[in-house]
Structures are given as structure tokens and as C-alpha cells.
């Protein structure tokens, strides 16, 4: 399963299209939201947890298993704290003073 079945050129195409898409989308993000944007993209890129799980599936030796397990823990921390803190930050943004004791 580790052998490349998809040609490199296809992966390169996916990379380039994602880059253009990403650059276009991020440019439109309001400056207000740059902090939660960072925590969100960080959580999303921690989909590397998937890669760590795949490596864990058939480890050849204990070193590989150990490295992959640590990687799962690290990436899982990012996934969990990343999405949760993004939600917490976004809840703080309010348009007016409504609902507050005056």
C-alpha cells in the first residue's frame, strides 16, 4: 500500500490546484479573523493523524510503531484543541452590545 499507485504528476496537479485554491480563499478572509483562521488551518493540516494511523497499521518494527504512536498523540492534540479553540474564539465575535448588562 505504500507503493505509489498514483503518478507523481497527478499529485503535483493536486498540489498546485490546492495552492491556487488556498491562496484565493485565504486572501478573502477578513483581517478580523486571522487568529481563528490560523487555529483552523492548523487543525485541518493535522489530518496528518491519518498518515500516522496508516503507518501504524503495519509497522515493521517497534521503532516505527513508537514513532507513529507519538505522531498520533501529537496530531490528535492539535485536532482536538484546534477545532475547539477556533469555536471558542469565534463565539466571542459579536456585532453589537446586545445581551449584555448595561
Partner 1 sequence: MIESVVGYLYVASAILFVLALKWMSEVKTARRGNWAGSLGMLIAIAATMIAFKVQRTDLVIIAIAVGSLIGVPLALKLPMTAVPQRTAMSHAFGALAVALVGTAEYYHRIPQISNFAMIVLTAEMILGFLTFTGSTVAFLKLQEIIPGKPFIYRGRNFVIGTVVAVIAVMAAGLIINPNNHFFLPVLIAAALVFGLLLVMGIGGADMPTVIAILNAYAGLSAAALGFVLDNQLLIVAGTLDGASGFILAILMCKAMNRSFVNVLFGGFGATASQGVIATGDVKPINIEDVYLMLEAASSVTFVPGYGMAVSQAQQVLRELGELLEKNGAEVLYGIHPVAGRMPGHMNVLLAEANVPYDQLIEAELINPKMPTTDVCVVIGANDVVNPAAKEDKTSPLWGMPIIEVDKSRTVIVLKRSMNPGFAGIENPLFFKDNTRMLFGDAKASIQALISEFRSG
Least Å distance between CB 9 and partner 1? 11
Least Å distance between CB 7 and partner 1? 10
Sequence-separated (6 or more) residues with CB below 8 Å from residue 79: 43, 46, 47, 49
CB-CB neighbours of 81 under 10 Å: 14
Least Å distance between CB 25 and partner 1? 4
Question: Per CB under 8 A, does 9 bind partner 1?
Answer: no
Q: Alpha-carbon distance 57 to 52, whole Å?
A: 9
In the structure grid, which three cell numbers stand for residue 15, read together?
498540489
Q: How many residues bind partner 1 (CB under 8 A)?
A: 88
Of residues 19-78, those binding partner 1 (CB under 8 A): 19, 21-23, 25-61, 63-65, 67-78
Amino acid at each position: 500500500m505504500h507503493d505509489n499507485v498514483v503518478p507523481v504528476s497527478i499529485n503535483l496537479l493536486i498540489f498546485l490546484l490546492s495552492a491556487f485554491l488556498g491562496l484565493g480563499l485565504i486572501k478573502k478572509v477578513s483581517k478580523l479573523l486571522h487568529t481563528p483562521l490560523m487555529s483552523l488551518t492548523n487543525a485541518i493540516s493535522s489530518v496528518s493523524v491519518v498518515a500516522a494511523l496508516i503507518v501504524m497499521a503495519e509497522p515493521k518494527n517497534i521503532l516505527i510503531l513508537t514513532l507513529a504512536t507519538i505522531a498520533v498523540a501529537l496530531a490528535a492534540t492539535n485536532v482536538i484543541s484546534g477545532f475547539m479553540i477556533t469555536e471558542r474564539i469565534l463565539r466571542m465575535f459579536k456585532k453589537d452590545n446586545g445581551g449584555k448588562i448595561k
